[in-house]
Amino acid sequence: MEGLDFSVQGVCFKTIYTPGCSFQTLIRNAMNDQLFAAEFAKELEAETTSSLKCLERIPPELFGWKPHEKSMELGYLALLVAEIPLWITHIIRKSEIDFATFQHMKAQTSQDLVNHFKQNVKEAKDALRGLKEGDLGETFYLKANGQVLFSSSKRAQVEPTINHMVHHRGQLTVYMRLNDIAVPSIYGPSADDKSFAMDSGGSK
């Protein structure tokens, strides 16, 4: 392993390079909690517009549709995309998620999904911005009926949430295509939308 020096927003860091580790992970590992949270909030915001473009197109009459008997229903998949930012808030502020008590929103319309997602993103960003140094080193617990399934640092659980959301959003676009719902531009033009995705500032 070798030492690696770099800077983010004018702040210099020194970390250890591990073969196979992405540069993004190296940067995050070297950040203190507050800088990590600020950068993570920006990344979450950058994914918000594309996610909203998908959620607003999911018609309630297709909420029960699924491509295979072993697949999840479209409505549940859309809700999963809308609720993953809520996980961030629970991880930071409540230190646990219990499958038995975690309350899922019951969407009736496309606008319900949109509003739920917007609120969850807002609360996640507020939770991230309210972090103090050392907070992400605290322990998070995943439970089922009070029984601990596993535990880890809050930081280790917050970090993959955006990738998890993007993964399920990708699934959602496949469901959309199979139902002839126009797929929006996300990171680049789609067959239905030849424009480029809008950035987090709202400009093209």
Has residue 5 got a pLDDT over 60? no
Domain ranges across the chain? 1-30, 32-178
What pLDDT score was predicted for residue 197? 53
Give one DSSP letter per residue of 32-87, joined into a string.
-HHHHHHHHHHHHHHTHHHHHHHHTT--GGGTT--SSTTSPPHHHHHHHHHHHHHH
Binned at pLDDT 50, 70 and 90, residue 13 comes out as very low
What pLDDT score was predicted for residue 24? 55
Alpha helices in the chain (DSSP H): 23-30, 33-46, 48-55, 74-89, 110-129, 154-158, 161-178
Measured in degrees and rounded to the nearest 5, phi and psi for residue 14 equal -130, 125
- What's the pLDDT tens digit per position in 131-149? 999 999 999 999 999 999 9
pLDDT-wise least confident of 49-58, 137-146, 193-202:
193-202
What pLDDT score was predicted for residue 196? 73
The structure's pTM equals 0.82
Tell me the CATH number of domain 32-178, given options 3.40.50.300, 1.20.120.450, 3.40.630.30, 1.10.287.950.
1.20.120.450
DSSP 8-state code for residue 162: H
pLDDT (average), residues 99-108: 95
What pLDDT score was predicted for residue 30? 58
pLDDT (average), residues 187-198: 83
CA distances from 88 to 20, 161, 162, 163 (A): 27, 7, 9, 12
Q: How far apart are CA 157 and CA 128, in angstroms?
A: 13
